[in-house]
Amino acid sequence: MFKKVLIANRGEIALRVIRACREMGIRTVAVHSVPDADSLHVRFADEKVCIGPASARLSYLNIPALISAAEVSGADAVHPGYGFLSENAHFAEVVLRCGLTWLGPQPEVMRLMGDKVSARAAMSKAGVPILPGTAVIETDAEAEAAVERIGFPVIIKASAGGGGRGMKIVEDRSRLSAQLAAARSEAQAGFGNPAVYLERYIARPRHVEVQVLGDGERAITLGERECSIQRRHQKLVEEAPSVALDDARRAELLRIARKATESLGYKTVGTLEFLLDEDRNFYFMEMNTRIQVEHTVTEEVFGVDLVREQIRLAAGEPLRLPGDLRPRGHAIELRINAEDPVTFAPSPGRITALNLPGGLGVRVDTHIYQLYLVPPYYDSLLAKLIVHAETRPAALARLRRALAEFVIEGCKTNLDFHRRLLSNADFVAGRLDTRLVERMT
């Protein structure tokens, strides 16, 4: 097992890794930018290294600085968290070439699944359903021919991207050329790669993902998560299990996800993401080759520490979890962000008052504290509120109670948005799709 892990990240996920390492007897190294010097992940790690100024490009995305921090601290492994360089195959390769262990999947698998077009091809070969679509579209003429086969509406997606950047919905032929140009421009700006492809567009899908673990030979699934509550392709609420699936549909989805994971020879934790149409048919969307923000709801319903399992698998230990684990009860996670609850504009600032909810079945993963200065340079996530109860209605009641106790003052947050969501009849009834937030606002 490792002696010291460097965490190439910040905020709540860095704290989450520190906690798992401490329970396993592993020392930790926190890296931080100058404005993050007083962050809790820096305080609770065993060692700390400043890696640069506020700009993420000069700090958390600075590969030479991260490798130098690992070398000067004597770390023998690097955990990337999520975001930043967590799915960067080049960073993983540099880590390995420097004699360190990468707490993630093989770089070649990251590269394969990080490109949406190659990922679609790999999943189709493994027998996973995919939406009708194309390879990379080079010309308008190729796009014109493709829509004859696929039909409208279509969605243009960046081959190298995610998070909504480079995505354009096209309803008819008149906008196809202009939207292709716009998508390529966004993809180039966001990912340094202008490649885009087309896919049939489902107007009101559900977003359901499967948690997978693999040791290179065997893979298992730990159920599914419903992630349909989104704004501009950014998740706001996640829950497990999904109310959209009956036992037969769930069994089929999990069987296919396990088979796909084994076909990759996948090592560590990961997530296969699917879209469900109105008939509950599911189609592969993408694979996240890292720990997910929403891993917490899976942990709550299965009683498994996923970060601990991630570390064990990276150390070369085989999967020891049985493949027939069943979820216990229902868990829901709310992402609490520093943003205006109406406009969703970022809202950095100093937290002048803070009260975190507690009690039976309530978990808060956060890096904030009273008088913490929320910086304007990074993601706006402040905390994750997770509840667990025997049923979904009981979990919703627990969420309402926890939200009533949650106080953050000094910067705007989306706490009020979540309170409104919990009174929305469609959400309460489980009638979810990725456009629900748009209809609310």
Q: Which residue has the tokens 């700390």?
A: 48
Q: Which residues 6+ apart lie within 8 Å of 98 measured at CB?
A: 67, 70, 71
Q: Which of the residues are catalytic? A: 290
CA dist 363 and 403 (Å) reads: 12
CA dist 176 and 169 (Å) reads: 9
